[in-house]
Amino acid sequence: MSDRIDFQTDPSRYRHWRTEVEGPVATVWMDVDEDAGLFEGYQLKLNSYDLGVDIELNDIVQRMRFEHPEVRAVVLRSAKDKVFCAGANIRMLGGAKHSHKVGFCKFTNETRNAYEAAEAESGQTWIAAIQGACAGGGYELALACNHLMLVDDRTSSVSLPEVPLLAVLPGTGGLTRVTDKRHVRRDRADVFCSTEEGIKGARAVEWGLVDEAVGNNRFDETVAERAAEIAGRAPREAEGVEMTPLDRTFTPDGVEYSTVSVKVLRDAGRVEITVRGPEGDAPADAAALHAEGAAAWLMRCAREVEDAILHLRMNEMECGLWVLRTEGDAAKVAAHEAVMLGSDHWFAVELRHYWKRVLKRLDVTSRSIIALVENGGAWAGMLAEMIWAADRAYMMEGAFEDDDRPEAAILPTEGNLGAYPMGNDLTRLRTRFWGDDDAVAAAEASAGEALDAERADELGLVTMILDDIDWEDEVRIVLEERASFSPDAMTGMEANLRFAGPETMETRIFGRLTAWQNWIFNRPNAVGKDGALQRYGSGVKGDFDMERV
């Protein structure tokens, strides 16, 4: 357990960032400690980053939303001289296991998406104030901001040099955001992404790579003016909620949280995750929910489910099958959710968006996911979303011998009709029934109805219903079979099947980009002994196999 990567941190433990909050404006300083890499064997020079750096940034993004709701503008800056950020650390990428590289890119993408969405969801606009070299993942860090400012000093520049320098692709959305978000013309984007040296000043503005270029003598002043201007557009006075440490206990075979239990069955190649519904009644209103703060079931459960997902992704990579269960009272889950969804109180709104992000993490996790809808479950609202996030769902039908728990049921709510969209901007129900509007309408019309197995099966909300005679054997066979398949084939199959419908910038980043980067990171042109990643910094270019595949 000593090698476990921990996704929980707090400002007292930051090694790479510091934050300053002055009323409605916050400044986030990137000041990477080059000797504090997550692993040995590399230094984080020039504000380059690894997973440990991004874990801290993810924590900052969450705390800005929950602990500092009064903040309207967040300025992202470098504390280093002559460099904004050099991107992902090349030595780390060259030496890390393939699975770690891909998992790192996925988490980094999710972090970028979280602060990029903060403007629309939370009214917090992120501003990149770029001084010095802003290269590769450093420019991707800036691209996810809502407003980009570049100092025009003849040396500061933005660049995506991965293709010519490293024989890989920008790994955290750079290609996609340049075209889909910044609307850079395709031929210019081709030039930009094929050039080692960056683009500066006025040309960066002309091409749409940044929003404004400002002379060095006025840069700090202009950044402050822009932040104040943006912060003044939607002022908000609100009392934040402290994100207290999670209540969790790790054991050699799992993790126990206040609302989640994780059991790791390594010999079987699977993990069993049980989410427990609330024991107490729902808060009277959003003000009461806010008063509960981080202790509220809605907040605790979201944080604990998220931490379990992140922990299992990076620390239990050979357990390729996740089995999801719930326990508790579905009606209580629905009542708690109703308080969250029925108010425009900032905390209730933030919780809703937080649940959306947590469920999206499940969607893009490269594990087979099977939901077991059993007696005594709490499958309602946001927890019911996990049924439709799963690759398959099996449900108990009727009474089971020696089982006095309430019979299995699913309670769809109004929340399932749009509060938690996937990365394709569709609900999981609409994605499930893509192209079948009648099935969508029937499923949506069931909101508020406790559905027994027969009704859930009729609506197509589960894969199969099984009675007492068949349940144990059928589920066992399904789990054993799934765990026996090639994990590579399963990852490819699941990623293709989970996202029906139109592409969005987000699905392109997690689908198309991740698939290509996954493949390229395995190719000798990039990671072979004579590949570009291995030879980087040696003065010798990579020796490429020139066959186009």
**CB–CB of 248/255 below 8 Å?**
yes
Rounded-to-integer distance, Cα 327 and Cα 324, Å: 11
* Minimum mean pLDDT range among 285-294, 371-380, 407-416, 533-542: 533-542
State pTM to two decimals.
0.96
CA angle 284, 286, 290 (to 5 degrees): 105
* Minimum mean pLDDT range among 315-319, 394-398, 489-493: 489-493
Residue 1 banded pLDDT, cuts 50, 70, 90: very low
Rounded-to-integer distance, Cα 214 and Cα 148, Å: 11
Residue 539 banded pLDDT, cuts 50, 70, 90: confident
Place of tokens 């700090």: 220
Q: What is the mean pLDDT of the chain?
A: 95
For 333, residues 6+ apart whose C-beta sits below 8 A from its C-beta are 277, 278, 378, 380, 381, 382, 383, 411
**CB–CB of 509/109 below 8 Å?**
yes
The pLDDT score that the predictor gives to residue 519 is: 83
| Residue burial 111-120, b: 16+ Cβ < 10 Å; e: rest | bbbbbbbbbe
Tokens of 325: 């269960």
**CB–CB of 312/262 below 8 Å?**
yes
Per CATH, domain 248-496 is 3.40.50.970: no
The pLDDT score that the predictor gives to residue 533 is: 86
**Sequence spans of domains, the chain:** 11-231, 248-496
> CB neighbours (10 Å) of residue 320?
20
Eight-state DSSP code of residue 49:
B
Answer with the residue of higher pLDDT: 376 or 511: 376
Residue 547 banded pLDDT, cuts 50, 70, 90: confident
The pLDDT score that the predictor gives to residue 204 is: 98
Rounded-to-integer distance, Cα 321 and Cα 491, Å: 11
SS3 446: coil
Amino acid (one-letter) located at 382? M
* Same fold: 11-231 with 248-496: yes
Q: Which CATH architecture has domain 11-231?
A: Alpha-Beta Complex (3.90)
Answer with the residue of higher pLDDT: 532 or 386: 386
SS3 17: strand
The pLDDT score that the predictor gives to residue 525 is: 92
Instruction: Please give the backbone phi and psi of residue 238, each rounded to the nearest 5 degrees, phi first.
Output: -155, 150
Measured between alpha carbons, how far is residue 221 from residues 79, 235, 368 in Å? 17, 21, 51
**Is the pLDDT score of 527 beyond 90?**
no
Question: Across residues 292-313, what is the average pLDDT?
Answer: 98
Rounded-to-integer distance, Cα 189 and Cα 148, Å: 17
> CB neighbours (10 Å) of residue 206?
12
Question: What DSSP assignment string belongs to 174-223?
Answer: HHHIIIIIS---HHHHHHHHT-SS-B-HHHHHHTTSSSEEEEGGGHHHHH
Q: What percent of the chain has pLDDT over 70?
A: 100
Question: Across residues 16-38, what is the average pLDDT?
Answer: 97
Measured between alpha carbons, how far is residue 72 from residues 115, 145, 181, 425, 540 in Å? 12, 13, 21, 25, 47
